[in-house]
Amino acid sequence: MNSTQIMSLAAIVIAALALIFALYSQVKFSRLRRELDLLQGPDDQSTFLATVARHIDHVDALREDIVVQRQVISQLQTDLRDAIRHVAVVRYDAFGDMGGRYSFSLALLDDDGDGLVLSAIHARADTRAYFKGVTGGASDEPLSPEELRAVALARGQDA
């Protein structure tokens, strides 16, 4: 074999290797192109990065909403403490000669024990109603045993 034939054979081998490498590169490039097309989508709004960015914006908006809702809940809890939520009624016979327990004391209190006691005393001829203010579970005016019991029951105490 002369040097021209050796050179020709070497050129053919190099050309064959280059063709194999080119085909391998083409297959790899085609796969990468398909994956890129999958990530990009048909338009700019449906690209993977645009979708991720939109989701990040949504999550940020939700976090802001959570902060606002926590403030609202906190305000509602504060308002609820001042609401009349604790109620108790004690029925009794105000006079020994009358039955039916038509007289009553009604305690209406908030979480701090502030509110009022309404008592209605039923007699044969009439019924009288009395209001007494309550602060911290106590009143500036003397409370009857029935009123004290109503206040205690409204505050969740055993009376």
pLDDT block averages, 10 residues each, the chain of length 159:
88 94 94 81 71 92 97 92 92 81 93 94 89 93 94 87
pLDDT score at 26: 95
Please spell the DSSP secondary structure of 70-117, one letter per residue.
Answer: HHHHHHHHHHHHTS--EEEEEEE-SSTT--S--EEEEEEE-TTS-EEE
Compute the distance between CA of residue 76 and CA of residue 34 in angstroms, rounded to an integer: 54
Distance of CA 79 to the CA centre of its chain: 17
Q: Say whether pTM exceeds 0.85.
A: no
Q: Where are the domains of the chain?
A: 1-40, 46-81, 86-154
Compute the distance between CA of residue 159 and CA of residue 151 in angstroms, rounded to an integer: 9
pLDDT score at 36: 79
pLDDT score at 96: 75
Compute the distance between CA of residue 118 and CA of residue 113 in angstroms, rounded to an integer: 15
**Contact yes or no for 144/105 (Cβ under 8 A):** yes
